[in-house]
Amino acid sequence: MKALLSVSDKTNLVEFASGLREYNVDLVASGGTARALQAAGLPVTTVEEVTSSPEVLDGRVKTLHPLIHAAILARDTDSDRADLAKIGAAMIDIVAVNLYPFQKTVAQRYVTLADAIENIDIGGVALIRAAAKNYQRVAVICDPCDYDLALRDIARHGFVSLQTREVLALKAFAHTAAYDAAIRDYLTGIQSSESPVLTLTLQKVQELRYGENPHQRASLYSYINSCAGPLGGKVLQGKELSYNNLLDLDAAWRAAVQFEQPTIVIVKHLSPCGIASADELPRAFSAAYACDTTSAFGGVIASNWEIDLATVEAMGDLFIECIIAPGFTGDALRRLAKRKNCRLVEMPDLKLEPEYEYRSINRGILRQSVDRGDPAIASWRVVTKQAPSEEQLRALQFAWKAAQHVKSNAIVFARETDGVMATVGIGGGQPNRVDCVRMAAQRAGENARGAVMASDAFFPFADSIQEAVKVGIAAVAQPGGSVRDRDVIAAADEVGIAMMLTGARHFRH
């Protein structure tokens, strides 16, 4: 057998090539791939040696040659073998190729158009498509995660099985489709226009046991390399994540990473039931849990900081479905190992990707940019006679950010206590705003007195302010924009509470 290796991402390249050599597979490689293999002491034939043609145009053209493509496209027939013999080519059985990192290049903050264009791969795409087209004879590998799959097949059968080749070919065509879509999206973006065609290409991460309910089928797909686990993280322990777990983890994680201080977010059925920030994570957990101890049972927890043993101890014997964080200390992991059914997900960073979110509707898909927040606090306006105190302003900022992650009509009561900023009552998901105020008030109880209130959208009537005042709310933040803003502001002035207009709305349907 013969393998052609031409990879931009050299992850596990030497290990894969060494494995191929153990099964007497001859290696042909191009450019930097050949140099990496030679440096590792592996016998390799360069593409130039095969084609008797040097790389040209600074390496832009090296594998685009009949002796390479004929060797890949040749079928296992007498006529094709005769044609190869005429030109002195030998069949290539395995093609391992990945492409110039276009997506990573254009993700850089100050990338130039010239850099982006230079990272559009031509020869690699041609090799992948040729090998995938001829999958009945050729195995194409475009993802380093699949190296072991190919080696296991070779060890078992002496070749890559047809079943595996079919799977790899489908993945290869999906890979080139995604690559082309990324190029199109980038070029469309710099022209500040929307593409008339939307192509979504994702890789299956796993089959789920079921969807929201046992009679529904479900799978998890990822925008990024399939080697990554759920949400791009790594599952450290626990049972397989369910469809509902994944939704709750996503909601909790999106909220947690929006805060700078150590923050805990507790989510149940896609609704935050406690959010708190503090100088120490255990204090943040205690405050978040206190917001709604009933709903927190069986919820998921997200932290934007590493989970330590003190935080795990603060959780006590609370039943927790999942915990997601950028890391766990060794002591925390050892203690959490006793909770065998608690899933732990470790995230590689605090990024939220992609820049757009999609929702399916009947016979279509809605696309929108991710809600990243709104103008700075300096753009907020005090519209009442009473201005908020510095402490109230800090609490309003926190409550406003928390409200962005609550289902509309979102109402958040929050306060600062001994340096800990926390929600004390959350109401959302109701068709009218005043009911959400009542929900938040009921959950807050006496903690509502002296707290602040944030609303994700304007108040259509003064009744929400009147309800908030009954339980002791001292300051309010809301976008403004209602035809009855004057009535709402007057209601606040009548009882002497502060109100600020943020000028931005945060509906979350």
Active site residues: 133, 269
Structural tokens at position 163 = 């079943």
Structural tokens at position 83 = 């044609």
- Of 306, 296, 298, 307, nearest to 274 by C-alpha is 296
In one-letter notation, the amino acid at residue 398 is: F
Helix axis angle, 123-133 relative to 66-73, nearest 10°? 30
- Of 97, 354, 95, 418, nearest to 223 by C-alpha is 354
DSSP states along 357-372: EEEEETTEEEEEE---
Neighbours of 66 (CB within 10 A): 11
What residue has token string 């599952």? 235
Residue 307 is given by DSSP the state: B
- Of 75, 28, 22, 77, nearest to 49 by C-alpha is 28
- The strand pair at 343-346 and 320-325 is best described as parallel
First CA to last CA distance, the chain: 56
Cα distance between residue 92 and residue 20, in whole Å: 13
Cα distance between residue 51 and residue 56, in whole Å: 13
Structural tokens at position 365 = 């898909």
Q: Which residues pair with 272 in a beta bridge?
A: 267
Give the burial class of 49: count Cβ atoms within 10 A of its Cβ; 0-12 exposed, 13-18 middle, 19 or more buried.
exposed
Contact in structure between 248 and 300 (CB atoms under 8 Å): yes
* C-alpha distances out from residue 383 to 65, 378, 490, 499, Å: 71, 14, 10, 6
Q: Which residues pair with 302 in a beta bridge?
A: 265, 324
What residue has token string 């596990």? 12
Task: Using CA atoms of 73, 75, 80, 82 in order, give the dihedral in degrees to the nearest 10.
Answer: 110
Structural tokens at position 81 = 């073998």
Contact in structure between 436 and 430 (CB atoms under 8 Å): yes
Helix axis angle, 433-444 relative to 463-470, nearest 10°? 10
Cα distance between residue 125 and residue 192, in whole Å: 27
Q: Which residues contact 35 (CB under 8 A, 6 or more apart)?
A: none
Examine residue 409 and say whether the peptide bond preceding it is cis (omega within 30 degrees of 0). yes
Q: Which residues contact 62 (CB under 8 A, 6 or more apart)?
A: 30, 31, 47, 48, 55, 56, 123
